[in-house]
Structure 1
Amino acid sequence: MLMSPPPDDARLGDHVGKPRRGYWCECWTQDLTTQQQPALLASFDAYSAPQADRWVAVALRTISPALDPDASDEAWMWLYEGRVYTRRALLRSEPSTVTITQASTRVTWTIRPVLFLPLVHRQGAKLPACTDDFKPHTPHATD
Structure 2
Amino acid sequence: MDKPQRGYWCECWTQDLTDETQPILRASFDAYSAPQADRWVAVALRTISPALDPDASQEAWEWLYEGRIATRKALLRAEPNAVALTQAGTRITWTIRPVIFLPLAHRQGTELPPCAAEFKPHTD
Does structure 1 residue 125 correspond to structure 2 residue 110? yes
Q: CA deviation at 1:134?
A: 4.8
The 1:137/1:90 distance shift into structure 2, 3 A limit, reads farther
Give the Cα–Cα distance (whole angstroms) in 1 for the partners of residues 16 and 94 of structure 2. 15
Identity among equivalent positions (%) equals 73
Residue 96 (structure 1) aligned with residue 99 (structure 2): no
**How many residues were matched structurally?**
123
Calculate the TM-score normalised by the size of structure 1: 0.81
Q: Equivalents in 2 of 1:46, 1:73: separation in Å?
A: 26
2:72 equivalent in structure 1: 87
Mapped pair 1:39 → 2:12: no
Q: Which of 91, 106, 117 is matched with 2:91 structurally?
A: 106
- Counterpart Cα distance in 2 of 1:128 and 1:136: 20
Instruction: Name the structure with the higher strand share.
Output: 2
For 1:56 and 1:113, how far apart are their aligned partners in 2?
15
Residue matched to 2:38: 53
Amino acid at match of 1:101: T
- With 27-36 and 71-80 compared, the bigger mean Cα shift is at 27-36
Q: Displacement, 1:119?
A: 1.2
Any idea what the Cα deviations from partners look like across 1:91-126, whole Å, max 9, x if unmatched?
000000000100110000000000000111211212
**In 2 relative to 1, CA 118–134 (structure 1 residues): closer, same or farther, beyond 3 Å?**
farther
Aligned-residue RMSD, C-alpha: 1.6
- Equivalent residue, structure 2, for 1:135: 121
Q: Tell me the alpha carbon deviations over residues 66-93 of structure 1, each in whole angstroms, 9 at most, x when there is no partner.
A: 0000000000000000000000000000
TM-score, normalised to structure 2's length? 0.93
What residue identity is the alignment partner of 2:67? Answer: G
* SS state at 2:92 partner: strand
Alpha-carbon deviation of 1:36? Answer: 1.4
Q: What aligned pairs does 1:9-48 form with structure 2 within 5 A after superposition? A: 16-48=1-33
- Rounded to whole Å, the distance in 1 between the matches of 2:20 and 2:75 is 32
